Amino acid sequence: MKIERIETLVCNARMRNWVFVKVITDQPGLFGWGEATLEWHTRAVVGAVEDLSELIVGEDPTSVEHLWQMMWRQHFWHGSGIVRSTAIAGIDLALWDIVGKVHGVPCHKLWGGPVRDTIRTYCHLGGGRLERFYETPVDHAAQFAELAQMAVEGGFSAFKSMAVPPTMPVEGLKPIKAADACVAAMREAVGDEIDIMVDCHARPSPTMGMQFARALDPYGLYFLEEPCWPECVDSLAAINAAVATPIATGERLTHSAAFRDLFAARACEICQLDLTHCGGFSEARRVAALAEAHRIALAPHNPQGPISTAASLEFGFAQPSYMICESVHEDVPWRRDVVQESFAVDPQTRTVRRGDRPGLGVSIDEDEVERHPFEQELPQRVFYHDGSVGDW
Ligand SMILES: [Mg+2]
């Protein structure tokens, strides 16, 4: 069996262009789906997939690890840059989808699974509609409470909020109090049985991240995400050591050596690896093994399209330390029209029961994808009060 060609299908979903990767074999009807969505880098990823195709077209698609090594190590530059690693991930996921189809089993069964019956999911406030998640102002604590209640009414037992505003390297009490008020309002609205997460989006400096973490610690957050830049591993470790709240990070890391350094410093309790950015299943399984050795839990980053979700769930059905999966369900109203999935979501609890279709278990409606061609992603830029550049 040989890889005949690799195609990319771009599907504009407002905030993101979903990049679906289709690896087509020379066996009639046998192909695999992967996803390589990277917001604001769409054309670069499509080009990177094309560059990688040159290495692996004509090769056996079931030699996944061998092909992964080629993609990562050949062409001189290691595949750790975010564009290259995302393109590798998209192809790697599609190769595993093919292997599952060849053997007639879901991907999780290829890795010794299943290890659980169901997977819990959490939502973003607003279900993934970007204005509600990213643009609810932190001085509107009541609005956070209202959106939190909506998430719970939608069946979710856990949700994530952006209750921490962008801040300059050092600011006074105002943003800390605003974040505190938002989390207090959400906790008051949903009670103690619901798990609340706060995403700092790596906006704070280490000192501001420490202040937010300490202020929010009494609310028993399920986790506090990216309290400072991912490059500041020592500062993440200091924050993780200073508070009882588990620190979560890892969505911007692209390879196992970066995760090794993160875990060795005990800079998090929860690893948010992204299956579509950190080299696909092949590298993610190495990262998961490292996490396991440190007793660090897995909660994958997954705000992208439906193939990313299927991959994140297949992974979870084979990983013992996996605790919850991020999900978006209201980013675009036609999301359900693009994909048919193998797994089933219980609308009462938003837990997922695994399916038994082979590989990733997804079929994509390519006509529906064509109805949503590439558009430039909506700009999301942050400037501080004085006009200087902040992190989005
Ligand atoms: Mg995040």
**In angstroms, what is the span from residue 161 Cα to ligand 1's centroid?**
10
* 243 lies in the same domain as 301: yes
Please check whether residues 79 and 121 belong to one and the same domain: no
pLDDT for res 280 = 98
Higher pLDDT, 87 or 329: 87
Q: Is residue 172 part of a domain?
A: yes
Q: What is the pLDDT of residue 121?
A: 98
Q: Are residues 85 and 180 in the same domain?
A: no
| 364 domain-assigned | no
pLDDT given at position 138: 82
Q: Does residue 71 sit in the same domain as residue 194?
A: no
State the distance from the centre of ligand 1 to the C-alpha of 301, rounded, in angstroms. 7
**Is-contact 300 294, C-beta < 8 A?**
no
Point out the least confidently predicted range of 14-28, 226-240, 295-309, 378-392.
378-392
For residue 190, the tally of other CB atoms under 10 A from its CB is 20
The rounded mean pLDDT for the chain is 96
In a domain, 29, yes or no: yes
- Same domain for 100 and 114: no
30 to 249, 337, 341: CA distances (angstroms): 36, 22, 18
List CB contacts of 19: < 8 A, sequence separation 6 or more: 8, 9, 10, 35, 36, 37, 38, 42, 45, 46, 49, 90
Residue 134 has pLDDT above 80, yes or no: no
What was the pLDDT predicted at 128? 67
338 in any annotated domain: yes
Residue in 148, 142, 130, 244 with CA at minimum distance from that of residue 191: 148
In a shared domain, residues 221 and 236: yes
Cβ count within 10 A of residue 295: 9
What is d(CA 277, CA 288) in angstroms, rounded to the nearest whole number? 14
Query: What is the number of H-type helices and E-type strands within the chain?
Result: 14, 15
Last residue of a domain, one of 105, 130, 151: 105
pLDDT higher than threshold 70 for residue 126: yes
* CA 156 centroid distance within chain: 18
Q: How far apart are CA 249 and CA 285, in angstroms?
A: 17
Q: Please give the Cα distance from 276 to 37 (Å, whole number).
A: 7
Give residue 174's pLDDT. 97
Its pTM stands at 0.96
Q: Give the model's pLDDT for residue 155.
A: 96
Q: Supply the CATH number for residue 325's domain.
A: 3.20.20.120
Residue with token string 């890889």: 3
**Tens digit of each residue's pLDDT (9 = 90 or more) over 170-180:** 999 999 999 99
121 and 93 inside one domain: no
301 is catalytic: yes
Count of domains in the chain?
2
Structure tokens at 222: 């399920």
Percent of the chain with pLDDT over 70: 99
Q: What is the CATH number of the domain that holds 9?
A: 3.30.390.10
109 alpha carbon – ligand 1 mean position (Å): 29
pLDDT tens digit sequence for 244-278: 999 999 999 999 999 999 999 999 999 999 999 99
User: Structural domain of residue 61, as residue ranges?
Assistant: 3-105
Which among 48, 70, 105 is the end of a domain?
Answer: 105
User: Is it the case that residue 160 has pLDDT exceeding 70?
Assistant: yes
Please check whether residue 389 lies inside any domain of the structure.
no
Is 201 in the active site? Answer: yes
Using the structure block, give the residue that is written with the tokens 């103690």.
192
How close is the Cα of 359 to the center of ligand 1, in Å? 27
Question: Do 120 and 323 form a contact (C-beta atoms < 8 A)?
Answer: yes
Contacts of 193 (CB under 8 A, 6+ apart): 157
Catalytic residue among 140, 201, 294, 329: 201
User: CB–CB of 38/83 below 8 Å?
Assistant: yes
> Which of 108, 255, 277, 301 is flagged as catalytic?
301
* pLDDT, tens digit (0-9, with 9 covering 90-100), for 38-68: 999 999 999 999 999 999 999 999 999 999 9
Residues near ion ligand 1 (CB < 5 Å) are 199
Read off the pLDDT of each residue in 362-380 and give the average, rounded to a whole number.
95
* Ligand 1 midpoint to CA 199 (Å): 6
Calculate how far, in angstroms, residue 117's C-alpha sits from the geometric centre of ligand 1. 26
Can you tell me the distance from the alpha carbon of 345 to that of 206, in angstroms, rounded to the nearest whole number?
38
Does residue 79 lie within any of the structural domains?
Answer: yes
Reported as a single tens digit per residue, the pLDDT across 65-91 is 999 999 999 999 999 999 999 999 999
Residue 369 in contact with residue 20, Cβ under 8 Å?
yes
311 within domain boundaries: yes
Q: How far is CA 76 from CA 47, 64, 66, 84, in A?
A: 17, 20, 16, 12
C-alpha 13/C-alpha 369 separation (Å) is: 10
Cα(224) to centroid of ligand 1, in Å? 10
Task: Determine the distance separating the centroid of ligand 1 and the alpha carbon of 71, expressed in angstroms.
Answer: 27
